[in-house]
Structure 1
Amino acid sequence: MTGKTHILGGITASLAFAQITNYEPVLLLGAGVIGSVIPDICHGSSKIGRALPVLSKLINGLFGHRTFTHSLLFLVLFAVLLNNFMPVEAISAGLLVGMASHIVLDMATKRGVKLFFPFKWNVRFPVTATTGGTSEYLVFALLSLLSVYFGYGVFIPL
């Protein structure tokens, strides 16, 4: 998936999560957007890879793309770090929700992800989308509609 789809996925997931929690929605949403790009730190031409090129090159050299940073192990380690060093729970939750949305969206591509890294098992959905193709635009459109729906529920409660 492209960066814009990952960001919209982070927005959608954060807004959905905000409906079932008492976290401050704006903090959750902002952190969700940031979290949605973190897993692609392993890809030098990604939004975060261009922002942090040295770190991106190092991680890619150690692990490659869509391996460690797209795994449950990475999510758990990140959660442990946040639990110990991030005093604002809404930000921690938003970052993790955004990261999880990124991984789920990449599971919807032909390449999939190494969800159970260090095992080399590739995990993907049975129906996949082509990055930048018509199917991704359909995913983007669906995420847009869901963002409006969940955003309405969060910011304009009944």
Structure 2
Amino acid sequence: MLYRTHQAFGLFCTSVALVDITHTPIFSLAGAGALALSAFASPLPDVDQPESTIAKMVFPLAWACELLHITHRTFTHSFVAAGLWFWLAFTFQKAHIEIAGLHLALFPILFAGGAIGYLSHIAIDMLNRMGQQLFWPFPQRYAFYLVSSNGIANELSKYVFFVAFIVVAFYSLALQAPFVRAIFAAVHHAFPIFPLA
């Protein structure tokens, strides 16, 4: 999948994790931090591909991958690499920082933005025809072989996931703002398939 597709899917997954798992409003300091981290973490596994956008952005990591002979879709696309993000999130589960008198919990940012954002890349790459070493260092590669990494499905899914992210963000706002909840109630009445905040 391409850079923007990974970001769109990462933002969608992060927004769902914020609302349903950490119960963090998307329109909050922690929510904004998680989305910003997700925009970085979701394409990050492709740092092992020197010509990728993320590799050019964080070239020291790309150089490290080259020095360590980490090839594409091996270590960075494994549960081991994703597990490091989860370890980091749970290590700082109770940590807070103070910014201008506001207490900011780090867990929603590291968990929803970092861990879920990173894992979203691995999940959506499973649709590709190229396999990934999920259980690195074991050499077996896994894939569903459904789409190419730069075809029309990739381009279309970028927009679908971005719209899905907007819907979840609007839903999160509905949980905070009564006037938005009224809009959700009207849409839900007309189209019961949509959730009622």
The total of aligned residue pairs comes to 157
Which of residues 32, 39, 42 is equivalent to 1:33?
39
Report the alpha carbon displacement of residue 111 of structure 1 after superposing the two structures with TM.
Answer: 0.2
Where structure 1 has 5 or more consecutive residues not aligned to the other structure, the ranges are none
Q: In structure 1, what residue type is equivalent to 2:135?
A: F
Which of residues 140, 145, 150 is equivalent to 1:132?
150
Q: Which residue of 2 aligns with 1:4?
A: 4
Q: In structure 2, what residue type is equivalent to 1:131?
A: S
SS in 1 for 2:149: coil
Is the deviation greater in 110-119 or in 15-24? 15-24
Q: Which residue of 2 aligns with 1:110?
A: 129
- Equivalents in 2 of 1:110, 1:47: separation in Å? 21
- Equivalents in 1 of 2:66, 2:126: separation in Å? 19
- Equivalents in 1 of 2:60, 2:35: separation in Å? 28
Q: Which residue of 2 aligns with 1:70?
A: 77
- Equivalents in 1 of 2:35, 2:19: separation in Å? 12
Report the alpha carbon displacement of residue 38 of structure 1 after superposing the two structures with TM.
Answer: 1.6
- Is the 1:25–1:154 Cα contact (8 Å) retained in structure 2? no
Report the alpha carbon displacement of residue 115 of structure 1 after superposing the two structures with TM.
Answer: 0.7
> Which protein shows a greater Rg?
2
Q: In structure 1, what residue type is equivalent to 2:32?
A: V
Is the deviation greater in 4-13 or in 20-29? 20-29
Aligned CA distance change for structure 1 residues 148 and 78 (closer, same or farther; 3 Å): closer
TM-score by length of 2: 0.72
SS in 2 for 1:63: coil
More strand by share: 2
Residue 123 of structure 2 is aligned to residue 122 of structure 1: no
Q: Which residue of 2 aligns with 1:18?
A: 18
Report the alpha carbon displacement of residue 55 of structure 1 after superposing the two structures with TM.
Answer: 2.4
Percent identity over paired residues: 24
- Equivalents in 2 of 1:141, 1:110: separation in Å? 21
Report the alpha carbon displacement of residue 77 of structure 1 after superposing the two structures with TM.
Answer: 2.4
Report the RMSD for the aligned CA atoms in angstroms.
1.9
- Equivalents in 2 of 1:77, 1:90: separation in Å? 16
- Is the 1:70–1:103 Cα contact (8 Å) retained in structure 2? yes
- Is the 1:12–1:143 Cα contact (8 Å) retained in structure 2? yes
Aligned CA distance change for structure 1 residues 82 and 47 (closer, same or farther; 3 Å): farther
Consecutive aligned runs of 4 or more in structure 1 exceeding 6 Å deviation: none
SS in 1 for 2:19: helix
> What whole-Å deviation, never above 9, does each CA across 1:85-112 have from its counterpart, x for those lacking one?
6841122111111101111111111103
Report the alpha carbon displacement of residue 142 of structure 1 after superposing the two structures with TM.
Answer: 2.4
Where structure 2 has 5 or more consecutive residues not aligned to the other structure, the ranges are 25-29, 96-105, 176-180, 182-197
Is the deviation greater in 76-85 or in 18-27? 76-85
Q: In structure 1, what residue type is equivalent to 2:171?
A: G
